[in-house]
Amino acid sequence: MLTAHNIVLGYNGTALCNPLDFHLGAGQICAVIGHNGAGKSTLVRTLLGIQSPLSGSVQWAGATKKNIAYLGQSATIDNHFPMRVKDAVTMGVWPQLGFWQGINNAMAERVENALLRTGLTHMADRPLFECSSGQLQRCFFARAIVQDAPTIILDEPFTAIDQSTESQLIDIIQQWRDEGRTLIIVLHDLSSVMGIADYCLLLGDGRGLFGKTDDVVTNENLISHHYLTHTQAQWISRLTDAGGRDA
Amino acid sequence: MLDWFAYDFMQRAFVATFVLSVSIAPIGAFLVLRRLSLAGEAMAHAIVPGIVIAFVSFGLSVVSMVTGGLIAGVIVALGTSLISRRTLIKEDASLASLYLIALALGIFILSAAGSAIPLKSFLFGSTLGIGDDTLLLIGVTATITILSMTMLLRPLISVTFDPTFYDSQSSHAGLVQQWFMFLVVLNLLAAFKSLGTLMAVGLMILPATAARYWVSTISSYLLVTLLFAIFSCWAGLLLSFYLADVPTGPAIVLVAGIVFIASLCLSPLGLRGNMWSKSKRM
């Protein structure tokens, strides 16, 4: 579904990392991790076609821009915009509509189903500013469901939400995988990466490492790509060992 | 009671301000939503030298003054973009610098040319002296604006509410924003003759900020903004008609200001609503 061939990420001619080469198929989830400034957001913008890579190419098999669903960081969204929850979810079908074309019954049904799947039916007519950060994130998941795209890109979807909401959203992600969609998710929490991702792209120190999650997320790789310090890696190892003994 | 309706100039003023409100209200609403209210104010001043140079060169021709204003507006917009991209000065400071220069230049040229048109007329307009050419300009501007807004409504909502989402779905974000700024300048020019450069932006922004306190959906927001704009215009016209020596432009904007303060104090999303929700939390 997605092939990145020797892409070099960067701005104004300055490369952020060495050439990246990876391929993802249908029904696969790839987590993107890296320290601040490693190039995660630049990668997302490049995959979305918002900016071009300095070199190399990105190919979406059979996918145009409108066939990619995107859920961005909620910090960039104006949640005081005069809009109901249902309206924000309906935005997911807008790219498929012509200038003067209204939404049809099938689209309206998709919106209702998405609200139901995200547990927001009771909030449908409420203004966005009444939503908690968890409800807001569920609203944007509902919009991504409505987009019904074969490829979905999520940029830090679990930031500032509680464990229970995160668990509901992970269920939706698993459903997307079961439906054969390709997902790319920027994450910070290593337990989420290990829990949901088949593949991992680790960015840092001007390099990128792509592979199966178990092969990429190792202490050695995380330290060498400046994602963890030696001390942090030791602490995580100790906690993991203690957890294993308790279990 | 309806004696004002017998006057031809009042009928023209009522029709002109109604059509102007239909055109300018959605533009003001999106300026407020896009947090560009002050940019609207700056653009209102930025068009002044173009209008003045056109007036001094070609006389009181609406076509030449609109062309001059558009050229000046585009030069200031491009200059702002160039300075903010190439130097350490940010967009707000570069726009402020250029519009102040533009305003001063416009007034300087107007005064130096010894114009027969008083400065007051440029700054505050003359709603009660609207001619056929101005009516035509307002009509054409309203047609272009309404047609554009029916096409741009969804992209504008999307690019304002969640710009990265819109970028991910379309390659036209820049075009949408540039066309919107063109509509801002066009509406300021249409309002310039009747309200003046200082007051035109008042009718654009105040009804939109007042309406923001009453509604929580975009369709109702656009509707309430329009109603407030029409009310401000018509109430301002009557105020100016019955109170001698009160210029119409400031009267209209003053009514819009009263609507804003009343909304701030009385609306469910204004001070009253906030105080109520705070006392509820306590």
In a domain, B194, yes or no: yes
Q: Is B220 on the interface with A (CB under 8 A)?
A: yes
On whether both A138 and A205 belong to a single domain, the answer is no
In a domain, A12, yes or no: yes
What was the pLDDT predicted at B107? 84
pLDDT at A41 over 60: yes
**Domain containing B133: what range?**
3-198
Q: What is the mean pLDDT of residues A72-77?
A: 76
Q: What is the mean pLDDT of chain A?
A: 86
Residue with tokens 């799947």: A117
pLDDT at B274 over 70: no
Task: State how beta strands A2-8 and A55-60 pair.
Answer: antiparallel
What was the pLDDT predicted at A247? 37
What was the pLDDT predicted at A245? 46
On whether both A227 and A156 belong to a single domain, the answer is yes
On whether both A175 and A58 belong to a single domain, the answer is yes
In a domain, A155, yes or no: yes
Q: Are B217 and A87 contacting, i.e. CB atoms less than 8 angstroms apart?
A: yes
pLDDT at A160 over 70: yes
In a domain, A223, yes or no: yes
CA-wise closest residue to B168 among A152, A32, A205: A152
Q: Is B150 on the interface with A (CB under 8 A)?
A: yes
Q: Bigger pLDDT: B109 or B140?
A: B140
Q: Give B229 to chain A, closest Cα distance, Å.
A: 19
| % chain A with pLDDT above 90 | 36
Q: Are B22 and B146 contacting, i.e. CB atoms less than 8 angstroms apart?
A: yes
pLDDT at B123 over 50: yes
Asked if B168 lies within 8 A of A87 by C-beta distance, the reply is: no
What was the pLDDT predicted at B282? 45
Q: Are B248 and B25 contacting, i.e. CB atoms less than 8 angstroms apart?
A: no
Give B158's contacts in chain A (Cβ within 8 Å): 91, 94
Domain end (from A120, A146, A172): A146
Query: CB atoms < 10 A from the CB of A108, how many?
Result: 14
Q: Bigger pLDDT: B187 or B132?
A: B187
H-state helical runs in A148-218: 163-178, 190-196, 213-216
How many angstroms separate the CA atoms of A126 and A136, rounded? 11
Domain end (from A130, A146, A162): A146
On whether both A141 and A156 belong to a single domain, the answer is no
**Residue B132 class from Cβ within 10 Å (0-12 exposed, 13-18 middle, 19+ buried)?**
exposed
In a domain, B22, yes or no: yes
What was the pLDDT predicted at A61? 64
In a domain, A72, yes or no: no
Q: What is the pTM of this model?
A: 0.84
Domain end (from A76, A111, A146): A146
Q: Can you tell me the ipTM of this complex?
A: 0.82
How many angstroms separate the CA atoms of A213 and A120, rounded? 33
On whether both A155 and A233 belong to a single domain, the answer is yes
Q: What is the mean pLDDT of chain B?
A: 86
How many angstroms separate the CA atoms of B254 and B260, rounded? 10
On whether both A98 and A117 belong to a single domain, the answer is yes
DSSP state of A84: B
If you write DSSP's letter for every residue of A179-191 in order, what string do you get? TT-EEEEE---HH
- Chain segment B149-193, per-residue pLDDT in tens: 999 999 999 989 998 888 888 888 888 888 898 899 899 988 887
Count: domains in chain B: 1
**Domain containing A117: what range?**
85-146
Option in B162, B171, B212 nearest A72 (CB): B162
On whether both A155 and A48 belong to a single domain, the answer is yes
Q: How far is CA B247 from the centre of its chain?
A: 18
Asked if A82 lies within 8 A of B215 by C-beta distance, the reply is: yes
How many angstroms separate the CA atoms of B191 and B204, rounded? 9
User: Which chain A residues touch B if contact means CB-CB below 8 Å?
Assistant: 45, 48-50, 65-66, 68, 70, 72, 76-78, 81-84, 87-88, 91, 94-95, 97, 99-100, 127, 129, 143, 153
Asked if A76 lies within 8 A of B150 by C-beta distance, the reply is: no
- Chain segment A205-216, per-residue pLDDT in tens: 888 889 999 888
Residue with tokens 């890579």: A53
